[in-house]
């Protein structure tokens, strides 16, 4: 059993009946107890690893209000990052697109770019068809 004891925390429990705690016990990746340092420490098995939070805030997880994790994950696998950063110039963007063209198993596979923002590119202009033709003319 994987167990962890966190004490001296300013734990935000998100439980309206018990909104704050100073200690948390985690067992097998689940929060099993929250409360005072004394109470929660008494519930921890002998030899449980311990973290002193030193009066830092502790929350059970980030709450993301709106994302599309599946779509975002697939997009990372199927699109070329044309954003700034990491790209600073149009040549940087073209180099990334060129890598994707070379890596494609089928030369007719469409290559999708994402996150491009011309206002952040040092060239201070949009990509053109002539720029893209330097990478692939199919």
How much is the pTM?
A: 0.50
Spans of all domains in the chain: 3-58, 69-133
**For the chain, how far is it from start to end, CA to CA, in angstroms?**
57
8 A C-beta contact, residue 112 and residue 78: yes
Nearest-CA neighbor of 102 among 126, 117, 85, 80? 80
Three-state secondary structure call for residue 15:
coil
In tens digits, what is the pLDDT along the chain, a chain of 138 residues? 699 999 999 999 988 998 999 999 999 989 999 999 999 999 999 999 999 999 999 987 766 667 777 777 777 777 999 999 999 999 999 999 999 999 988 888 888 998 899 999 999 999 999 999 999 876
**CA–CA separation, 90 vs 23, rounded Å?**
52
Homologous superfamily assigned to 3-58: Urease, subunit C, domain 1 (2.30.40.10)
Q: Are strands 20-21 and 79-81 parallel, antiparallel or unpaired?
A: unpaired
């Amino acid at each position: 059993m994987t167990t962890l004891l966190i004490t001296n925390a300013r734990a935000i429990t998100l439980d309206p009946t018990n909104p704050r705690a100073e200690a948390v016990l985690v067992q097998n990746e689940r929060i099993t107890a929250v409360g005072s340092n004394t109470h929660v420490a008494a519930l921890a098995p002998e030899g449980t690893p311990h973290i002193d939070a030193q009066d830092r805030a502790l929350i059970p997880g980030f709450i993301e209000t709106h994302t599309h994790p599946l779509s975002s994950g697939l997009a990372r696998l199927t699109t070329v990052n044309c954003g700034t950063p990491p790209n600073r110039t149009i040549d940087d963007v073209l180099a990334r697109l060129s890598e994707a063209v070379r890596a494609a198993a089928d030369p007719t596979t469409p290559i999708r770019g994402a996150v491009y923002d011309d206002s952040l590119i040092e060239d201070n202009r949009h990509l053109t068809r002539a720029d893209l033709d330097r990478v692939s003319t199919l």
